[in-house]
Amino acid sequence: MKKAIYLAAALCLAVAFLAGYWFRTPDATKTGATASQMTAASVDSSSLAPGTVRVSPDRQQLVGVRLATVEKLPETHTLRLLGRVATDETRIYQIIAPVDGWIRDTYNNSTGTLVKKDEPLASFYSPEFLSAQQAYLYALSSLDRFQASDNETPGQIGQTKANIQQYSDALRNLGMGELQIEEIARTRKRTQNIHITAPTAGFILARNVSPGRKFSRGTELFKIADLRRVWILADLFENDARHFKPGTFAKILLPQQQKTFTGKVSATLPQFDPATRTLKVRLEADNPGYVLRPDMFVDVELPVTFPPAIAVPADAILDSGLRKTVFVDRGNGYFEPRQVETGWRFANRVEIVKGLEPGERIVVSGNFLIDSESRMELAAAGMYGTLEKDPVCGASVSAKKALREGRTSVHQAKTYYFSSSDCKDKFDRDPARYAAKPVEGND
């Protein structure tokens, strides 16, 4: 009976010992402790920056941590914009009535019709042409008589030719086309139907004529646009405007028709649109076959090449608004928070101006978990608030903690913070030496 009691007591002691060992063992599967706490005793992390945490390989795989090597390479991206086709204002022709008159006939054309140069568009009657034609025909007849006679002097013939030129110019000023003036000279007959002809090949944008309609001097009868060359208007943000320099060539795509054109950035200064807060850049493009029509939408692509620089994925940067942080792999599962300064951002790539060196490995995915553990490490160590750089030892220091523990010095109205009393003593012995060094603060 006693042996059974002793045996049971021994068994209880063994169970109690094993239970105590179990709870004292720093295993994450038993205690829920972080991986950084598990290995803190086995790895020397004294040289690592505050906030550095360790994540085991198993946990990295669980949360999807991915790493990438920092490289300094030239970056080439394609800037894509939405553009709208517009008529080239320098290729718009307005046909304005130079006299009062009545529309006699209209021909088979309407808004949107493609017309050829000198093609008749309509005809009208104006009494002002009668006297002008009569004077022109009289001058032509006089020249015929002088040339047929040998008695006229060269001065008289020259004066008659000058009169012919003057009267033909009068017909042109009244709105008669060159072809009709030549027809009058050939037939020697007056006409009451004055043709309105197209000044260039293009599309009719506006048509304000109908049979019998009376019009006044200055009325716009037709508006024609030459679409052999068009404008492409594209909206872009201010930070992208530097890429669209005058003379730069861009690709213009019409996805629905699978056609590609080449456009050239105009030298005209881009206009700022206060409603959309964008700049309107103008490109000029040839339009073979009149494929591009006004108000059509097109895609604009411009290849942009940046000089060699350190660029990382945008997801690798944690932006709190006050500081931008990336996590650098320090080996053995340790990740160090590193403050960086950024430059240009294009698509999903961000330039790192300061804070990283080529060859370093950084976290590009799963950094939110690492950041949360880093903040916990800083809070546990009392490293809260703004971090400053120790001007002597170079370590990151919590400004509030250093102030609370009396590890600060003032030199020339500027406060310096120190990670240890020894660093502070060295500074106090020769402050000018250390104050002259550039100090990088962590805002």
Q: For residue range 140-199, what is the model confidence (pLDDT) as tens digits?
A: 888 888 777 766 677 777 888 888 899 899 998 888 888 899 899 899 898 889 999 999
- Residues paired with residue 410 on neighbouring β-strands, in sequence order: 415
Q: Rounded distance, CA 144 to CA 370, Å? A: 102
Contacts of 164 (CB under 8 A, 6+ apart): 136, 139, 140, 143
Predicted pLDDT at 225: 95
Helices (H), 302-430: 367-380, 399-404, 421-429
Interatomic CA distance for residues 323 and 345, integer angstroms: 16
Give yes or no for residue 389 having a pLDDT over 50.
yes
How far apart are the C-alpha atoms of 171 and 192, rounded to whole Å? 13
Q: Provide mean pLDDT across the span 422-442.
A: 76
Determine the pLDDT at residue 91: 94
Segment 55-75 mean pLDDT: 88
Nearest alpha carbon to residue 339 among 328, 353, 355, 357: 355
**Residue 443 pLDDT greater than 70, yes or no:** no
pLDDT at position 438: 59
Angle between helices 128-148 and 154-174 (to 10 degrees): 160
**What is the per-residue pLDDT for 306?**
82
Mean pLDDT confidence for 426-439: 79
Task: Evaluate the CA torsion angle 305, 306, 307, 312 in order and state its sign.
Answer: negative
| Max mean pLDDT range (121-125, 244-248, 345-349, 419-423) | 121-125
Query: Comparing C-alpha atoms, which of 304, 245, 251 is closest to residue 270?
Result: 245
Report which of residues 40 and 410 the model is more confident about: 410
Residues in the chain: 443
From residue 421, give the alpha-carbon distance in Å to each of 68, 355, 405, 417, 424.
38, 27, 10, 10, 5
From the CA atom positions of the chain, what is the Rg in Å? 43
What are the counts of helices (DSSP H) followed by strands (DSSP E) for the chain? Answer: 11, 26
Confidence of residue 286 (pLDDT cuts 50, 70, 90): very high
What confidence score (pLDDT) does residue 70 get?
Answer: 92
Query: Which residues, at least 6 apart from 317, have a Cβ–Cβ distance to it below 8 Å?
Result: 324, 325, 326, 340, 342, 350
What is the distance between the alpha carbons of residues 16 and 20, in angstroms, rounded to a whole number?
Answer: 6
- The pair of structure tokens assigned to 120 is 């008749």
Amino acid at 25: T
Average pLDDT over residues 75-89: 89
Taking residues 56-63, what's their average pLDDT?
86
DSSP 71-117: -EEEEEEEEEEEEEEEE-GGGEEEEE-SS-EEEEEE-S--TT-EE-T
pTM here? 0.59
Determine the pLDDT at residue 382.
57
Joined together, the tokens standing for residue 283 give 């490109």
Residue 34: predicted pLDDT: 44
Average pLDDT, the chain: 82
pLDDT recorded at residue 210: 92
Which of 443, 312, 316, 314 lies closest to 371, judged by CA? 316
CA pair distance 366, 318, nearest whole angstrom: 11
